Amino acid sequence: MDLGRRRSSTSIGHEKCSFHHDLELEHSPLPREELIPELAASYRSVIHNLGEDVTRQGLLKTPERAAKAMLFFTKGYDQTIQEVLNDAIFDEDHDDMVIVKDIEMFSICEHHLVPFWGKVSVGYLPNKRVLGLSKVARIVEVFSRRLQVQERLTKQIANAIVEAIKPAGVGVVVEGTHMCMVMRGIQKVNSKTTTSTMLGEFRNDQRTREEFLSLLK
């Protein structure tokens, strides 16, 4: 079984799927438990190539543990927005700003396969429909639990809310700490990266945007 081929957009059943860039998967991949043996074999090869003894007691079960951990870190590939919203969209005559801020986020950088983490703040102007508040955090979870870059993650969250409830506007701000900057490269321990996406009234109306950003402080 070739893991890379199975997840290619040219594979049978995956012709319309690019996995990392689509707003939503159009289908579910195979059960993730079936991937553990192959992923574990890959981790075993990495450990061996680093010069370690893969039969050493401390490393004997590491490939399987690492495979299970990576599947958990990327569990967003098994979820869709429709599933996590679970009909938690409500008709409501409310047009004032709704903000859910400081949502904890953990993800994996697709460039180096090391973690980045931080906080996500989401605001939107309802247009006769609102989301269950916990569902905003669920949307963040779906997209952060994939191989990501922060810029794309920010936009995906905003676009998903637009698709779900068609609000008058959406604003998303993400602040992240990236291990690829902290542990390697320039090794700037205190560096943080902030990205934002503003759609609808948040982009077009300066007062709306400023109100949102002021409430995040």
Residue 27 is among the residues annotated as catalytic for this protein: no
- The catalytic residue among 79, 156, 175, 178 is 178
Q: What is the DSSP letter of 179?
A: H
Residue 150 is among the residues annotated as catalytic for this protein: yes
- The catalytic residue among 150, 156, 175, 201 is 150
For the beta carbon of residue 72, count every other beta carbon within 10 angstroms. 10
Pairing of strands 98-109, 147-148: parallel
- The catalytic residue among 14, 109, 148, 175 is 109
8 A C-beta contact, residue 126 and residue 92: yes
Q: What is the DSSP letter of 109?
A: E
- The catalytic residue among 104, 110, 151, 210 is 110
Closest CA to 202 of 190, 210, 214, 192: 210
- The catalytic residue among 64, 94, 112, 211 is 112
Determine the residue type at 22. D
- The catalytic residue among 24, 64, 180, 211 is 180
Residue 48 is among the residues annotated as catalytic for this protein: no
Residue 20 is among the residues annotated as catalytic for this protein: no
Residue 17 is among the residues annotated as catalytic for this protein: no
Residues 6+ apart with CB under 8 A from 98: 123, 124, 125, 126, 130, 131
Closest CA to 196 of 170, 169, 171, 177: 171
Query: Taken in order 102, 104, 106, 107, is the CA torsion positive or negative?
Result: negative
Residue 148 is among the residues annotated as catalytic for this protein: no
- The catalytic residue among 38, 52, 111, 163 is 111
Residue 110 is among the residues annotated as catalytic for this protein: yes
- The catalytic site residues sit at 109-112, 150, 178, 180
